[in-house]
A and B are shown apart, each in its own frame.
Chain A
């Protein structure tokens, strides 16, 4: 499985150029800052920094960009925990328990836990990548549109079923998001729902919509409160409590490992990747925990599941990029662009001929994970103080930052308008118990779901059942989808049956 001569080659490559090491800390810092500002994702930071890599050699360039990628993965958790606003689409599930923890005054523990979980996620994700880069790449290439469609729908139904007060509201939120996600020109060239607005041809801008829904639903519900944390003593940054959050990860190794594995395997699926991986890991943690009702109210295991999955999905997404030359998301697309700028082409041939470079990238990421621990701690000292700012000042300031962030995403008026429209919608949905996250994930996946559905319809000869019966992976995902949809109902019946039996 491991090529020992390539490993030795990788070690010698790492020792040959000091620049490989020098770019890691700046990259991590840029990623942390970009990831923690809603709208300025790590992908955007990588895009802005891409021209800089022209002046670097190939390996320092790749190391610099992967450091931004790694830093951004954790940066997204900072705003998710402190303000309930996910910095990136892959940190949506972190808000579910991270933000309630912060509201309880446990923000130090939550940030420490998320940092440790992210570091371990990156580390274990890349260790898995080290062993399975080639076989996993072969597995991923066998996934057709039917499997992709079912994975996307599985993630969506899971979050719709788990997120709200009632299943009907979860389904409305997820379905409405999915429907809005198909606005514009579809894969067959049909244009719907644009109301003659030109920017809607490309669909509703997802990131501004996400910022509007999350920022509004959190910030507007905070109007009337003075501080994010009521207890004054709990507001200060306390490294001892950050450390206790760190160590609490070690108390639940199974949750950490399972989240990491889900992140790697779901992250390897192009297009679905980290956005769905963290939701599936969270839902699995809640489903199997002895006390599922504590989730959504500040359960540290919820933060751990989400953060381990979104961090390890980086390793998963690298699989398809290195083994197949396919970018699974924005971050790996930037890396592939850096490859092209240095006249390197990713794919099976690259792996066969340059295994030492693949191992160098993997080993370099081990070092990045270790350094993230140090740089992340320093970053927390600054970022953690946000809870000390009065909400009367914080709310308008964050709204303006979100508005400028939305402008930065689209480069025109489309971003701020989308932000405003979805701010109103998100506020109302949150107020009446609709899971905002389900709507956002639906919006994110709408276009892909429709495209994969059309392809599945076409290659299955009009939905022939025999086609699905011949695809066991698709069948397995379909069963999981139905189970996640029925899970709340089954659990309710089971609990009622158990209570009846005990009282009898």
Chain B
């Protein structure tokens, strides 16, 4: 974003994370104060939450940077430790895949009480394998099915609690 001679760099993802942390902290602080203002209730939570909110404010200022003459550093000009971090950077497509995988885990967690852990795991495995680039119309279903059978079947026999499954 540009504002006159200034260029404003905003780390939107980082900003979102800090807002989430500050939001959860604020909610927890309000809930604690609403329950009771007795010292045994607020002794840790209130000072810690205040400290966290202050730190979040500090980090927000680091997420938004104003620069008059932006100079794009090239990777070869960067110090060693920054170069190391750059090497680990994921491409936008990799990030999208990682985000979709996270959503897939969420779908697995939400769906297994309804359709059974075995069926949900099988569907998740097929989805994740295809998403991550595994190809082979025979390999994907065979690996997903055998992995599900071994892991869910084994867990349902080993664990002392009943697993919510459809087939095992």
Contact = CB atoms under 8 A, between A and B. Distances in A.
B167 interface: no
A48 B157 CA distance: 13
Interface stretch (A6-14, A303-311, A392-400): A392-400
A468 interface: no
A483 B54 CA distance: 22
A473 B151 CA distance: 49
B109 A220 contact: no
Given A192-B31, A223-B90, A186 B59 contact: no
A331 to B, nearest CB: 19
B52 A396 contact: no
A224 B90 contact: yes
B32 A192 contact: yes
A458 B60 CA distance: 37
B105 A169 contact: no
Contacts of A166: 62
Contact of A179 (B16, B25, B97, B105): B25
Interface stretch (A54-62, A250-258, A337-345, A446-454): A446-454
A175 interface: yes
Contacts of A175: 48, 51-52, 55
Contacts, number: 166
Contact of A393 (B31, B134, B163): B134
Residue of A172, A419, A457 with most chain B CB atoms under a 10 A cut-off: A172
A100 to B, nearest CB: 10
Contacts of A186: 40-41
Given A408-B159, A454-B43, A223 B132 contact: yes
B147 interface: yes
A413 B113 CA distance: 8
B59 A169 contact: yes
Interface in A223-281: 223-224
Nearest to B140: A393
A73 interface: no
A178 B43 CA distance: 13
Interface stretch (B1-9, B68-76, B123-131): B123-131
Contact of B124 (A187, A188, A293, A400): A400
Contact of A176 (B21, B62, B102, B121): B21
B109 A392 contact: no
A160 to B, nearest CB: 11
Interface in A136-179: 166, 168-169, 171-172, 175-176, 178-179
Interface residues of B, number: 68
A179 B124 contact: no
A378 interface: no
A179 B48 contact: yes
Contacts of A221: 88, 90, 98
A431 B147 contact: no
A333 interface: no
Interface in B114-161: 117, 121, 124-125, 128-129, 132-134, 143, 147, 151-152, 155, 159-161
A179 B49 contact: yes
Contact of A193 (B31, B90, B129): B31
Interface of B: 11, 13-14, 16-18, 20-21, 24-25, 27-28, 31-32, 35-36, 38-41, 43-45, 48-49, 51-52, 55-56, 58-59, 62, 81, 84, 88, 90-91, 93-95, 97-98, 101-102, 105-106, 108-109, 112-113, 117, 121, 124-125, 128-129, 132-134, 143, 147, 151-152, 155, 159-161, 163
Query: Would you list the 9 A-B pairs with minimal beta carbon distance, nearest first?
Result: A224-B94, A396-B128, A188-B40, A392-B132, A411-B161, A223-B98, A220-B98, A190-B41, A432-B14
Interface of A: 48, 166, 168-169, 171-172, 175-176, 178-180, 182-183, 186-188, 190-193, 216, 220-221, 223-224, 293, 297, 390-393, 395-397, 399-401, 403-404, 407-408, 411-413, 416-417, 419-420, 423-425, 427-429, 431-432, 434, 449-450, 453-454, 457
29 contacts: A168-B59, A171-B51, A171-B55, A172-B18, A172-B56, A179-B28, A179-B45, A183-B28, A188-B38, A188-B41, A192-B32, A193-B32, A216-B102, A223-B132, A224-B91, A224-B94, A293-B81, A392-B132, A395-B128, A395-B132, A399-B101, A400-B108, A407-B117, A407-B159, A412-B161, A413-B113, A416-B112, A431-B13, A457-B39
Given A224-B94, A400-B125, 13 more contacts: A166-B62, A168-B62, A179-B48, A188-B38, A223-B97, A297-B84, A395-B132, A397-B125, A400-B121, A403-B108, A412-B161, A416-B112, A457-B39
